[in-house]
Structure 1
């Protein structure tokens, strides 16, 4: 069954998140449409600023990533392993701040299964929803401007709310990880993550291997400010060297 245009373009963006480049011929075969249809899709997505056309294909635009809904369908097994691996690092935490994102929702779901009588402060509706499965967990949702594609609140009201609290740990995702630190596609979300980091005794970054060596506009922390990185694979090269240089604990699920 052929996908309609909206679903087809969503699939193109989802595939671009896990592959740095896409070829028109490959996409046409995978989606069972003509190469001309794919060209029109890529041209339209380029006009929308969601990707950049190349000769014979496309690459994702700097500073963009799929919506949180799209990301929920990607690398599910890897993110579940990351969530399990993060539990040991959070075992002693009774007050936890959790940022938005698909991986952090997996962590929240695992907390709902394994922990009782903790308090979670979040700006993510997805995180709050899965925590509701456990009635012993007290969840505080930060107010602010709702960002639809991220499923979370952002802005000065969100940051002001967070500044009234202190947590044992912050669990934060990232759009990309570079040798300089975690980065995010959404500048407003990056500001919220920075506020959570500042109000927490420890900060745990949860991010799968597809984020390695990807750079986005908002660098919300340096590795010297991060206590632990939880991923489904170990980084290599300059990213690995930076993590080791700043003595960031690495857990691989």
Structure 2
């Protein structure tokens, strides 16, 4: 039996409280409506800011990010492709700084599989954990105040530690990407990413399409400071124009 539009949308939001991501086909079957009806519901809820549309479904609204543990369950195939596509851009890097986040953990996992005898400097416990799979990789963890929902250290001690190193490349995630540059939901994390950016010869931002045209409080860099973006989809519109203007390499996985 079909439910009303308001009840249907309420159920969709209730599902997002349980599962961090939803697929259109699954929702259509569960609610006994067409996929087109679900698309219209998701588009409307997206306009209201109650969720964020993705290709083929939706995730929780990005105005406030879910914890890193929850983000690990989102867009896993896309992030795995991004990680693989990032490897050629890091092939010549022997010292790499890696920021916290779910996509950066996927990159670290690929590094553990494909690289040997490199040094990684990170503030992310998730990154350090997956790198431990490869005993030839030397991992340095930055000290600082532990941020539980991000699974990483932040603060003045973290930034001071990073300032004593220089890396061949920085790999950074983002909560949102705007024409002004990559942004993050956490001010303290943004400060750490800025420090990594300043202490690295090259910079690679890894972010899936759900981050496009989303803005968050901490802009940790401008596109003129970024060498490459690796994503699962090519950016378009003003975001693409801004990146083209600053000659940012876009690699799509």
- Settle same-fold status: TM greater than 0.5: yes
Q: What SS class does the counterpart of residue 139 from structure 1 fall into?
A: strand
- Paired residue for 2:202? 202
How far does residue 11 in structure 1 lie from its aligned partner after superposition?
Answer: 2.7
* CA separation of 1:63 and 1:144: change in aligned 2, threshold 3 A: farther
When normalised by structure 2's length, the TM-score is: 0.80
Q: What SS class does the counterpart of residue 239 from structure 2 fall into?
A: helix
Number of residue-to-residue matches in the alignment:
217
* CA separation of 1:29 and 1:225: change in aligned 2, threshold 3 A: same
What is the 5 A alignment of 1:1-253?
A: 10-11=17-18, 14-15=20-21, 29=31, 58-59=50-51, 63-253=63-253
CA contact (8 A) 1:233 1:252 kept: yes
* CA separation of 1:148 and 1:246: change in aligned 2, threshold 3 A: same
Distance 2:157 2:84 in 1: 32
CA contact (8 A) 1:63 1:217 kept: no
* CA separation of 1:211 and 1:9: change in aligned 2, threshold 3 A: closer
CA contact (8 A) 2:143 2:157 kept: yes
Which runs of no fewer than 5 residues in structure 1 stay unpaired? 1-6, 20-24, 31-52
CA contact (8 A) 2:165 2:199 kept: yes
- After superposition, the CA RMSD in angstroms is 2.5
* CA separation of 1:56 and 1:137: change in aligned 2, threshold 3 A: closer
Q: Deviations over 1:142-183 (max 9, x none)?
A: 000000110000000000000000000000000000000000
- Paired residue for 1:45? none
CA contact (8 A) 1:175 1:184 kept: yes
* CA separation of 1:235 and 1:139: change in aligned 2, threshold 3 A: same
Which runs of no fewer than 5 residues in structure 2 stay unpaired? 1-13, 33-44, 52-59
Distance 1:130 1:246 in 2: 33
When normalised by structure 1's length, the TM-score is: 0.80
CA contact (8 A) 1:180 1:222 kept: yes
Q: Deviations over 1:105-126 (max 9, x none)?
A: 0000000000000000000000
How far does residue 64 in structure 1 lie from its aligned partner after superposition?
Answer: 1.0
Distance 2:224 2:181 in 1: 8
How far does residue 94 in structure 1 lie from its aligned partner after superposition?
Answer: 0.2
* CA separation of 1:240 and 1:29: change in aligned 2, threshold 3 A: same
CA contact (8 A) 2:226 2:248 kept: yes
CA contact (8 A) 1:206 1:230 kept: yes
Distance 2:248 2:125 in 1: 29
- Paired residue for 2:11? none
